[in-house]
Structure 1
Amino acid sequence: MNETDKFAPRSLPTRDALFIGAARYRRPSYTSNHPLAIPRVSLALDLINAYGAITPAEYLTGRKASNKELTWFHEPAYIQAFQRAQFRGKVTQADRERFQLGNLENPYFPDFFDTPSLATGSSIQGAEQVLAGRTAFSPAGGMHHAAPHQARGFCYLNDPALAIMRLRRAGLRVLYLDIDAHHGDGVEAAFVDDPETLTASIHMDTSYAYPFQGGGIDDQPGGAVNLPLPPGINDAEYRLAFHSLWSRLLEGFRPDVVVLQAGTDILTHDPLSKFRVSNGVFWEAATRVIDESPRLLVLGGGGYHPIALARCWTGVWARLTGRALDERLPDAASALLRAVNWELDDEDAEETERLYTHLSDLPNDGPVREEVRARVQRLLDSHPLLAPRVMAVRQIESKD
């Protein structure tokens, strides 16, 4: 049975969007104790299908990236070492040290090269669908840390950079917005000297979070906007940060297309994040991007709690296609989530019954801390792209 055989559409879309996936994502990857050794794309797709919220016409099977495409960004020697490791079934010590392949962070696993190449080709394919006039969602993508010559931070190939390069080759002006909990450092470095690409990242301050350098409030290289935030960000604080920045980015840069990296590790349950954001506020941000972008490509990214991730990406897909999904999960969807090999506490167990995490359920959906307000205002006042159009943060708060 292939992926599309499972589709049993129950509600029809009102917007034209495409989900790019592949059966390969059902195979094990990484290693058993790795944070990414969890069902992600496959579980999200199954949850979407349990709602009857996808049709065969909305699904596209991804393809692997070609070597020519990969070397738009990655060094040939790195790609050769990566392919050589899969052929040999292991990574040599020399390649491990030089390319950061086959270590604990970026471990060897079956289909070592083919799986990341498929995710990367799918993101490039998504860019091509955008060029053809559609909105595309490539949830296996969003691996934003990879460097031209090395794997970094669980990321072997930098598919966001390559998808953006495909859009740039068509002459489009690109805004890359990264809402993953971690700084999108690899993508920023790729386009720091390209005046037709702007990268913007809202993330955990690298003083306490990976990659532990760059992305600071005073680290705003040309072609980049960074908003690092302290631990414990709640819904009110994230809402302020996102809405304050988003409109300035659109007004100041005026892109032809937006690439949204929609990593879910900002969510309250995620084990590798120190943010406490609900999926309701995540969707609020995503909805503005969907509604206001001239053209849009959405990629996946981080997310290390499979149940929170699947629910969140299901909501993103619903908004991309204009569907309204019931808050109560269908019985088949609840059964899927309960069957995941994941230890659930009492709070998690409730999330197998409904799609939403409600604001009232979060213990710290409190007021905006002065530190957060000050960081947002400082960025808006000081960044050369944002400052001419600055609006006082307190005025924004008064409108919410």
Structure 2
Amino acid sequence: MAASGEPIPAGKATLIGAARYRRFSYGDNHPLGIPRVSLTIDLIQAYGALDEEREYLIGRKASDRELTGFHTRDYILALQRCEALGKVPHRFREQHNLGNFENPWFPGFFSTPAVATGSSIQGAEEVLAGRMAFNPAGGMHHARPDQARGFCYLNDPVMGIQRLRRAGKRVLYIDIDAHHGDGVEMAFADDPEVVTCSLHMDTGYAYPFAGGQATDTGVHGNAVNLPLPRELNDTEYRHAFHTLWPRVVEAAAPDAVVLQAGTDILRPDPLGKFTVSTQTFLEAVTAIRDASPRHPDGTPKLLALGGGGYHPLVLARCWAGVWAILSGRELPEALPESGRELLAEVDWDMDEDEEWYPGLFESRLDPDLSGPLRPEVEAAVEGLLRDHPLLRGA
């Protein structure tokens, strides 16, 4: 492993996107009916932080063969049939959890997630070729082999990891989304060469509502889960992450790392229940980058994916920071004027009465959200390190 702060080789990261992410999707009343990938890339460009010729890759659609490496053939055919019909027949609603408010039909119903999945596979191939990669459209970690779950139609993290596994790589998957990375954990439960680690809202009060700590602490096998309470602050998140992460890396001894970087842990997120700042999030991403195994030239073997995040302004600011970390850039804290204008054009007023709202248009970072370290958070971390068989010896 490389020492924290070791310089990252310039020009050794790839940002993967596609024009289709500018199209209407999910619907006006859905939490994902907001600009995310397109807004992120536009903000990165406003900072002048993307060399499109050397650093940008257009995403491709995953093949049926790649998709059926995890999903059932019947499910893929159902998604394709629904896109062609322009609706979801009743039998597919019942069988595959499609066409409801959670997982609605929209134009590009199959093609858009198939491109996001192909992009995660491309990202894995970029890592194998000696680069880091960031696919902000990826990170759809809830999808099951034959069902959509939690806004996720295709489980692109699974297929990105499968690509690394086909190359013989041992993989550590780290999920910092506010929600449990349950679909990825399930996919690799029987593969000792994949370790999954998820820090998330306790499922006793948050999706996927699996019943709380009794069922998602993951004190077994190759899954390491840390469910956390509401209103988790910066101090508590830093303690939890920076205590757990080094132990997980040491125990997993990976050949490559896959990061799911959902931004719904951030305070303004409408679906998240944590009180974490953008800078604390980015500190975690930096630690993940620095601890990842490296190619001979020092480039981390790291694939970063998007994930949850339902506040477009907060998400774009944060993911621009993720790209800066991967590409070795130092971005000013102040948003450039074109970036401020870009965010101001977004149709979003959910929290405009909050005292911190104007700051979203001024800086890409947040006010400090430190607070007391509650005993229950400290006890959860200590208990996991003590009881998990994978971590006891690390």
TM range (shorter): over 0.9
Structure 2 equivalent of residue 17 of structure 1:
13
* CA deviation vs aligned residue, 1:30-86 (integer Å, no higher than 9, x gap): 011000000000000000000000011100000000000000000000000110000
TM-score, normalised with respect to structure 2: 0.93
Alpha-carbon shift at residue 174 of structure 1 (Å) = 0.2
Work out which of the residue numbers 372, 375, 380 in structure 1 matches 2:380. 375
Structure 2 equivalent of residue 314 of structure 1:
320
Alpha-carbon shift at residue 281 of structure 1 (Å) = 0.4
What percent identity do the matched residue pairs reach? 63
Structure 2 equivalent of residue 153 of structure 1:
150
Q: Distance in 1 between matches of 2:112 and 2:205?
A: 30
Cα RMSD between the aligned structures?
Answer: 1.3
Alpha-carbon shift at residue 250 of structure 1 (Å) = 1.1
The answer to whether the 8 Å contact 1:161/1:190 transfers is yes
- Code of the residue aligned with 1:347 in structure 2: it is W
- Code of the residue aligned with 2:335 in structure 1: it is L
Structure 2 equivalent of residue 192 of structure 1:
189
Please give the residue correspondences for 1:150-299 in structure 2 after superposition, counting only pairs within 5 Å. Answer: 150-213=147-210, 216=213, 218-294=217-293, 295-299=301-305
Structure 2 equivalent of residue 394 of structure 1:
none
The answer to whether the 8 Å contact 1:183/1:215 transfers is no
- Code of the residue aligned with 1:385 in structure 2: it is L
Structure 2 equivalent of residue 116 of structure 1:
113
Work out which of the residue numbers 41, 47, 57 in structure 1 matches 2:43. 47
The answer to whether the 8 Å contact 1:265/1:302 transfers is yes
Alpha-carbon shift at residue 220 of structure 1 (Å) = 3.0
Please give the residue correspondences for 1:27-106 in structure 2 after superposition, counting only pairs within 5 Å. Answer: 27-56=23-52, 57-106=54-103
The answer to whether the 8 Å contact 2:124/2:160 transfers is yes
- Code of the residue aligned with 1:246 in structure 2: it is W
Q: Distance in 2 between matches of 1:108 and 1:349?
A: 35
- Code of the residue aligned with 2:147 in structure 1: it is Q
- Code of the residue aligned with 2:50 in structure 1: it is I
Alpha-carbon shift at residue 101 of structure 1 (Å) = 0.9
Structure 2 equivalent of residue 333 of structure 1:
339
The answer to whether the 8 Å contact 2:120/2:135 transfers is yes
Alpha-carbon shift at residue 185 of structure 1 (Å) = 0.3
Q: Distance in 2 between matches of 1:199 and 1:13?
A: 27
Q: Distance in 1 between matches of 2:38 and 2:211?
A: 33
Q: Distance in 2 between matches of 1:246 and 1:290?
A: 12
Structure 2 equivalent of residue 350 of structure 1:
359
Deviates more, 1:122-131 or 1:213-222: 213-222
Q: Distance in 2 between matches of 1:65 and 1:181?
A: 27
Alpha-carbon shift at residue 15 of structure 1 (Å) = 4.8
Alpha-carbon shift at residue 221 of structure 1 (Å) = 3.6
* CA deviation vs aligned residue, 1:107-129 (integer Å, no higher than 9, x gap): 00011110000000000110011
* CA deviation vs aligned residue, 1:279-305 (integer Å, no higher than 9, x gap): 000000000111120110000000000
Q: Distance in 1 between matches of 2:219 and 2:64?
A: 32
- Give the gaps of 5 or more residues in structure 1: 1-11, 390-400
* Total equivalences in the alignment: 374
Alpha-carbon shift at residue 353 of structure 1 (Å) = 1.1
Deviates more, 1:251-260 or 1:218-227: 218-227
Q: Secondary structure at the match of 2:146?
A: coil
The answer to whether the 8 Å contact 2:217/2:226 transfers is no
Alpha-carbon shift at residue 165 of structure 1 (Å) = 0.5
* CA deviation vs aligned residue, 1:225-283 (integer Å, no higher than 9, x gap): 00000000000000011011110011111000000000000001000010000000000
Q: Distance in 1 between matches of 2:283 and 2:71?
A: 35
Structure 1 equivalent of residue 3 of structure 2:
none
* CA deviation vs aligned residue, 1:134-170 (integer Å, no higher than 9, x gap): 1000000000000000000000000000100010011
The answer to whether the 8 Å contact 2:83/2:109 transfers is yes
Q: Secondary structure at the match of 1:186?
A: helix
* CA deviation vs aligned residue, 1:364-399 (integer Å, no higher than 9, x gap): x2110000000000000000111123xxxxxxxxxx
Structure 1 segments, 4+ long, off by >6 Å, are none
Structure 1 equivalent of residue 4 of structure 2:
none
Structure 1 equivalent of residue 296 of structure 2:
none
Alpha-carbon shift at residue 358 of structure 1 (Å) = 2.7
Q: Distance in 2 between matches of 1:199 and 1:183?
A: 11
TM-score, normalised with respect to structure 1: 0.92
Q: Distance in 2 between matches of 1:178 and 1:358?
A: 24
Q: 1:254 to 1:219 in 2, by over 3 A?
A: closer
The answer to whether the 8 Å contact 1:13/1:323 transfers is no
Q: Distance in 2 between matches of 1:286 and 1:66?
A: 30
The answer to whether the 8 Å contact 1:176/1:258 transfers is yes
Alpha-carbon shift at residue 215 of structure 1 (Å) = 7.0
The answer to whether the 8 Å contact 1:174/1:257 transfers is yes
Q: Distance in 2 between matches of 1:209 and 1:247?
A: 26
The answer to whether the 8 Å contact 2:204/2:210 transfers is yes
* CA deviation vs aligned residue, 1:297-331 (integer Å, no higher than 9, x gap): 00000000000000000011111111111111110
Q: Distance in 1 between matches of 2:20 and 2:195?
A: 33
Alpha-carbon shift at residue 218 of structure 1 (Å) = 4.3
Q: Distance in 2 between matches of 1:153 and 1:19?
A: 25
The answer to whether the 8 Å contact 1:192/1:221 transfers is no
